[in-house]
Amino acid sequence: MTLRTDLLPALAAFESAARHQNFARAAEELHLTASAVSHHVRKLEDRLGVVLFQRHARGVALTAEGRQLADAASTALSDMDNVLGGLKRSRDEDAVVRVTTVHSLTYAWLLPRMPGFTTLHPHVRIHVDTEMALTRFDEGGPDLGIRYGQPPWPGLSAQPLMDDALFPVASSRLAGIEHVREAADVAKLPLIADLSRQGWQDWFRSADVRGVRVEERYSFSDTTGALMAAVQGLGAALAREKIVTPYFADGRLIRLPGPIVPTRASYFVVYPSHRRLRPAARLFVDWLLAQREHPAPPVPAATQGTAPPRRKTAGT
């Protein structure tokens, strides 16, 4: 006989009753009454023309025909459950965006903007990877990234996000900062560096400071480490405009005298050119590119000869 859709509720009730060997437990599982389960089983027996359960005072027991149908129904429902679960997981995965970028940009630029994306797309989940190693965009890897550099990158589509610029910064508590009046005076401070290709030598050259010996007292692999060293008063750091903004906002760092030098590298949104972006990733890319229309706060004027604030003592 051909399976009709009106038999599906009866098959579900039968499968549960067969698994529990009890109509009352099946009713509890299916949120039905025991009489409703019994009615479904009777309907199935009438349609098939066979007895599926032997009824007795202590409950029910499957007949040979009932056992045969129970095995088939259990397998079919299990297969269906696996397919439905897979479809749900696939849908949930489509709502996840995996992004790779560096820690410094995540902290200073991306995170402050993320509430705006969440408001627009509350169903999308974001996974951010800030590993230092250059990420491979293979199957199972990130959907997109924000890279600082100069394209082309083989296998990646790259869309420009924003340019950047360099200038020196320090804590207002740095010893000797009160004597810094011009760019040449910066060279007298302990210098902090990171692994950027454009460093102190480039900045002093652009500032037309000649004949100074540039000695980097501290070096960090990550820009955030260099800026935090400056916050602690270890020296002056060469900061990128897009990264240092939060440090100005709360007064942890100030800008030192000298020029603002455009960087040779820029930020790009990148993603694999060999595969199509999933819908959620496309939403995130479009949102990132829209951030180009929201300029960053202006860079504060350079602070010259600023004495560190006095520490309070008892009675003051």
The mean per-residue pLDDT over the stretch 215-240 comes to 94
| Cβ count near 96 (within 10 Å) | 14
Total-model pTM: 0.65
Residues in CB range of 252: below 8 A, 6 or more apart: 171, 231
Tokens read off for 9:
């509720």
Q: For residue 127, what pLDDT band results from cuts at 50, 70 and 90?
A: very high
CB 126 within 8 A of CB 171: no
Provide the phi-psi class of 211: left if phi over 0, else alpha when psi is between -120 and 50, else beta.
left
Element (H, E) at 158: strand 156-162
Listed residue (251, 278, 262) closest to 98, CA to CA: 278
Tokens read off for 74:
């259990």
Beta bridge partners of 271: 157
Express each pLDDT in 159-173 by its tens digit: 999 999 999 999 999
CB 196 within 8 A of CB 223: yes
Is residue 311's pLDDT more than 80?
no
Listed residue (109, 118, 115) closest to 162, CA to CA: 109
Residue 85: what are its φ and ψ, rounded to 5°? -65, -40
Listed residue (227, 238, 241) closest to 198, CA to CA: 238
Q: Rounded distance, CA 244 to CA 171, Å? A: 12
Express each pLDDT in 246-272 by its tens digit: 999 899 999 999 999 999 999 999 999
CB 227 within 8 A of CB 237: yes
What is the percentage of the chain residues whose pLDDT exceeds 70? 87
More confident residue, 74 or 32: 32
Express each pLDDT in 133-159 by its tens digit: 556 676 667 899 999 999 998 889 999
Q: Which of 3-7, 127-131, 190-194 has the lowest mean pLDDT?
A: 3-7
Q: In terms of residues, how long is the chain? A: 316
Q: What is the DSSP string of 31-71?
A: T--HHHHHHHHHHHHHHHTS--EEEETTEEEE-HHHHHHHH
Listed residue (277, 278, 285, 243) closest to 159, CA to CA: 285
CB 59 within 8 A of CB 21: yes
Q: Cα–chain-centroid distance for residue 78?
A: 34
